[in-house]
Amino acid sequence: MEKLRYERPIIQKMNTGLMNKFGTRTEYEPVTHIESVPVKSLIKEYGSPLFVISEKQIRRNYQNATRIFKTRYPKVQFAWSYKTNYMNAVCQVFHQEGSWAEVVSGFEYNKALGNGVPGSKIIFNGPDKTDEQLIAAARNNSLIHIDHFDELYSLIKLSEENNLKPRVAIRVNMDTGIYPKWDRFGFNFENGQAWNAITRIINSENLDLVGLHCHIGTFMLSPAAYAVAATKLCELTWSIKEKFNKTIQYIDLGGGFPSTNTLKGAYLPGSDTVPSIDQFADAITDVILGYGFKHDDLPLLILETGRALIDDAGFLLGTVLASKRLSDGRRATILDFGVNSLFTAFWYDHKVSPAQAFGQHTEEMVLYGPLCMNIDIVRESITMPLLEKGNHLVVHKVGAYNMTQWMQFITLRPNILMIDKENNTHVIRKAETLEYLELNEQVPEHLKHNPLK
Amino acid sequence: MKLKKNIATSAEGFIFNPGTGDSFSTNPIGAEILSLLKEEKTIAEIIDVISAKYDVDQSQFEKDLDDFKSQLEDSNILD
Ligand SMILES: Cc1ncc(COP(=O)(O)O)c(C=O)c1O
């Protein structure tokens, strides 16, 4: 006799009329394939957990964003924010699409060069650039975005000593009505610091002021804040033309557009609430086009959009290790990945789907990672089918900031796979091994042995 | 493991405790276990019946039955 499909027994109290705040029906609809490739076979072949990136989705996102901006404004350039995801394969997809590179450290800068990005198409941001890196960037004709007066003065000195004339911009911080203000980066607009820096640069023989930059925050939910930022950068651009007869070539509005993830504590899912890129583009381009620049003086608009272009192209596949009940009766499911791999679980209530079909019964549960620490929580409360050991799960929208901020803690970091346009799979970063991890370790001679045997 | 005498169960998995006014729902396999309990079957008998009928390891089911038992205790319907 054929046996019936098994499901573990549960009993649930009925609370008539009470809607669950977290569980939306779509959350527990199974996701059995990523870009037509079965989750089951991906895990079988490449292990669990496993990061999966869809090349198609990255290209779709990029083409969509460029279309939105280019249909509103004549001169637009995206620069891929390396820290958002600097897997070389991912960067190359963006560079193939025409994106420049935006980097914030020497190693990211070298990664961009290694990816074949010409120095002149690398934007070097951030407060931490060594003298050697500044000189190299100047020699490569890169765009150096100056963050503070100490950097401004060292760059002037280095340029004089080495007979260089780097192309520079300043990062401007400002009040856009959004709090907290990100005023620790760059020169302040309202108190005149930015204007002082501009004056100092223009009076220097050795620096060529070509742009103005700001990055007003991340996961910004207000297009209006971008309109304020664009207005203030246009005002500086205008004043520079008036006072110094100098045309600023570009304004760079940084990154910060939200992805459709759901911020922790938000009542509604991000996919229903975050403004679209169109709304940000309208806010920004209306200001610049309306400012009154002559057509030839219209600045190039640079965008360093990160998470909005990659988040939904990344998935994390994983496996249930155990299911148990907590002392208060709640269900707890333990997964083979935690906040060490899924760093963004600290920010988001990630959407998690089962990767196989289930019966109609569901229960509310906590999703825990495998780490031996209390903070290792993937979802504090989620309604899922009756999961058991060995079931697979798919976490959605994990493309941004995980593959760069993940921690090697307790477990080794897993494979990252890319599914290309023809649905072929490519490992783009191999799972770490103990050997890899210990490569840079050195044990002093007197600690090489111990008496335990 | 014994159900309280006054607990009402239905084959569809609806459970009512007239003592407290609480109602519960259970999945089909849960309903089946409850009806075996009503017939005063032992744990060993329940394990035999279920693992003969469903596609499950006996040890897996033992673990799940234990888990179910603690859910029933929390629901306050066991004697
Ligand atoms: C200077 C700069 N540009 C771009 C980005 C990308 O931001 P986002 O991922 O929010 O678009 C960041 C991220 O913090 C940044 O600091």
Q: Is the dihedral of CA A195, A199, A204, A209 positive or negative?
A: positive
- Count of the separate structural domains present in chain A: 2
Residues A61 and A47 in one domain: no
Give the best residue of B64, B68, B73, B75 to mutate against chain A (max A CB count within 10 A). B64
Q: Are strands A352-354 and A37-38 parallel, antiparallel or unpaired?
A: unpaired
Do residues A126 and A274 both lie within one domain? Answer: yes
* A186-198 average pLDDT score: 97
One domain, residues A187 and A290: yes
CA distances from A398 to A51, A126, A220, A406 (A): 8, 24, 18, 11
Flag whether A267 is in a domain.
yes
Please check the confidence at residue A115 and state whether its pLDDT lies above 50: yes
Q: A307: CA distance to ligand 1 center in Å?
A: 8
ipTM of the modeled complex: 0.95
Angstrom distances, CA of residue A322 to CA of A319, A325, A388, B27: 9, 10, 7, 20
Give per-residue pLDDT as tens, A397-428: 999 999 999 999 999 999 999 999 999 999 99
CB contact under 8 A, A4 and B53: yes
Same domain, A180 and A251: yes
Q: Which of A341, A322, A436, A358 is nearest to A398 (CA)?
A: A341
Question: How far apart, in whole angstroms, are the C-alpha atoms of residue B52 and residue B56?
Answer: 9
In angstroms, how far is the first alpha carbon of chain B from the final one? 8
- Would the pLDDT of A15 be above 80? no
Q: Which residue of A has its CA nearest to B74?
A: A329
The reply to whether A302 and A331 lie within a common domain is no
- Asked if A329 and B74 come within 8 Å (Cβ–Cβ), the reply is yes
Q: What is the number of the ligand 1 atom nearest to the C-alpha of A213?
A: 1
CATH of the domain at A262: 3.20.20.10
Does one domain contain both A72 and A131? yes
Q: What is the mean pLDDT of chain A?
A: 94
Residues A362 and A220 in one domain: no
A138 touches B: beta carbon within 8 Å: no
Contacts of B65 in chain A (CB under 8 A): 9
The separation between CA A209 and the C-alpha centre of its own chain, rounded to angstroms, equals 29
Quote the Cα angle for A368-A374-A376, to 5°.
Answer: 40
CA distances from A446 to A176, A443, A449, B62 (A): 59, 8, 7, 52
pLDDT in tens, chain B (79 residues): 888 888 888 888 888 888 888 889 899 899 999 999 989 999 999 999 999 999 999 999 999 999 999 999 988 889 8
Beta-sheet strands, E only, within A226-354: 250-252, 300-303, 314-325, 331-335, 352-354
Query: Do residue A318 and residue A423 come from a single domain?
Result: yes
CB–CB of A59/A434 below 8 Å?
no
Structural domain including A126 reads: 55-311
Q: A194 is written with which tokens?
A: 């930015």
**How far lies A442's CA from each of A265, A373, A446, in Å?**
44, 28, 12
Q: pLDDT, tens digit, for every residue of B15-26? A: 888 888 888 989
Q: Which residue of B has its CA nearest to A386?
A: B27
Of B30, B53, B70, which has the smallest distance from its Cβ to A325's Cβ?
B70
| pTM score | 0.90
